[in-house]
């Protein structure tokens, strides 16, 4: 599998506000990214019944470019380039110094389409990114490698 890179990092304090870009962030096992609404469990979740895959979301820059969606508009935490995120499902990988486990595809939701434009849901179906668990805390910075373990 090819090594990728972190192209951008986004945090959001509210589901209604556009995420802000940061150069680096602390990622905490079982909690997520410091400063993000999901870190304190104030984010909203789908009807997915399990507690896994909620720490971190990643999305491929190449997919967003193809769809014509701005990176912050995708509302994912980490924008990657050069790595096929779907290949990390069921695998352990590292983002910077943070170790993660790829849980499942991060499917787009109706809320995302309401915030962007009609057709985004269909365009990102099965390509909306990756939901991952943080298995070892650390820091993620723009430019860090994304590599399988």
Q: What is the CATH number for 109? A: 2.40.33.20
Residue with tokens 């993620």: 140
Answer whether 69's CB lies under 8 Å from 120's CB: yes
Whole domain around residue 56: which residue ranges? 4-148
Q: What's the token pair of residue 99?
A: 């170790």
pTM for the full predicted model: 0.89
pLDDT in tens, the chain (149 residues): 678 999 999 998 877 778 999 999 999 998 899 998 878 766 555 444 456 777 999 999 999 999 888 898 888 899 999 999 999 999 999 999 999 999 999 887 777 767 777 777 787 888 889 999 999 999 999 999 999 99
d(CA 67, CA 120): 8
**How many domains does the chain contain in total?**
1
């Amino acid at each position: 599998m090819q090594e990728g890179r972190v192209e951008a990092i986004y945090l959001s304090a509210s589901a209604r506000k556009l995420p802000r870009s940061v150069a680096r962030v602390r990622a905490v096992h079982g909690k997520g990214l410091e400063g993000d609404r999901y870190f304190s469990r104030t984010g909203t979740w789908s009807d997915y019944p399990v507690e896994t895959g909620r720490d971190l979301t990643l999305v491929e820059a190449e997919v967003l470019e193809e769809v014509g969606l701005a990176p912050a508009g995708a509302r994912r935490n980490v924008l990657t380039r050069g790595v096929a995120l779907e290949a990390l499902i069921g695998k352990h990988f590292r983002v910077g110094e943070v170790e993660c486990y790829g849980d499942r595809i991060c499917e787009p939701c109706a809320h995302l389409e309401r915030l962007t434009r009609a057709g985004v849901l269909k365009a990102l179906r099965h390509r909306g990114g990756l939901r991952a668990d943080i298995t070892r805390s650390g820091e993620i910075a723009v430019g860090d490698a994304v590599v399988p373990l």
